[in-house]
Amino acid sequence: MSFLSVKQLKTEQIEKLFQTASFFKTKEVKPKLDDKIVSLIFFEPSTRTRMSFEVAALRLGAKTHLLNNKLGTSLEKDETLEDTVKNIAAMRPDLLVVRCNDDLDLAQMSKEVDVPILNAGWGTQGHPTQALLDILTVKEQQRELNKEKILFVGDVKHSRVVSSHLELAPLLGYQIGFCGPEEMLIDRPGVQKFNQLSEGLKWATTVYSLRVQFERYSQKEKENQQLTTANFISHFQLNSQSLSSWSKEGLILHPGPVNYGVELASEIIKDSRNLILTQVEHGVLVRMALIYHFLKEQL
């Protein structure tokens, strides 16, 4: 079985993943998975997701090999993404970790290869491990998820992280809100929208800043990039001023990479509410738990 979406999991399976991730925070894996091979197939750039999956596999004792973008591969000779995945699967690794855009249909691919696929970020479809590590980060702060209100600020429309949170929130009971320029937002039943950051922050217990993903914009949208950026900084940037009256108990999250000076001001690095690096730490633990359960013990 492949893992492509949070919707595949039941609440008790999610809790088991969190328990395993927390266990790995202080305990080593014994016996280790030294007879397993994990193939990392990253068609899109990545630092945190790629390296945390690699560190996760290595800590479990598994061996890894990496395809990182097109350079030096047959993709430069116009091999398709589908053929690339099928050929790597034919080498019989034990697990495929794939990051791709919407041009590759991971759901269809999972039916055509015999090796399980873990979704490491699929276009705008979803980024389930990111959503899971986000919520583990919140839980570790001793928060009750059924009282949590997470405000996503920024480029909601292009965010695969948001797509996965929309699936995860009903399972775990937290609320979601959107805040940003209207052209960056989407409509979803049961999700509150805020056109002013100050109003959104009054509602939120956690604020989740999102990068403006100009690489996914149309040419017409790119032509208005400066206007969009200037408007965003003026009205939606998280900085010491916009957060000055927000709750001292609030949490600040971001999936990375951060564009400091756009969605976050540089001074937020030192804000005591900032848990961005804690998210990265939990990313390794959640991905360790997933790999372990896929290769050693079923959820």
Over residues 157-169, the pLDDT tens digits come to 999 999 999 999 9
Bridging pattern class, strands 251-253 and 63-68: unpaired
- pLDDT score, position 175: 98
Taking each helix axis as running N to C, give the angle between helix 160-172 and helix 128-139, from 0 to 180 degrees, rounded to the nearest 10.
50
- Rounded to a whole number of angstroms, the distance between the first and last alpha carbons of the chain is 11
Half-sphere exposure of 36 (CA within 13 A, CB side): 24
Q: What's the average model confidence in pLDDT over 246-269?
A: 96
In this prediction the pTM is 0.95
Strand ranges across the sheet with 251-253: 192-194, 175-179, 149-153, 206-209, 251-253
Mean pLDDT of 131-153: 97
Model confidence at 227: pLDDT above 80: no
What b/e string do you get for 237-273 counting C-beta neighbours within 10 Å, with b at 16 or more? bbbeebbeebeeeebbbbbeebeeebbbbeebeebeb
pLDDT by residue (tens digit) across 67-113? 998 888 999 899 999 999 999 999 999 999 999 999 999 999 999 99
Structure tokens, 228: 């969009």
Q: What is the pLDDT of residue 226?
A: 66
Lowest mean pLDDT among 10-24, 93-107, 161-175, 208-222: 208-222
Note the pLDDT of residue 215: 72
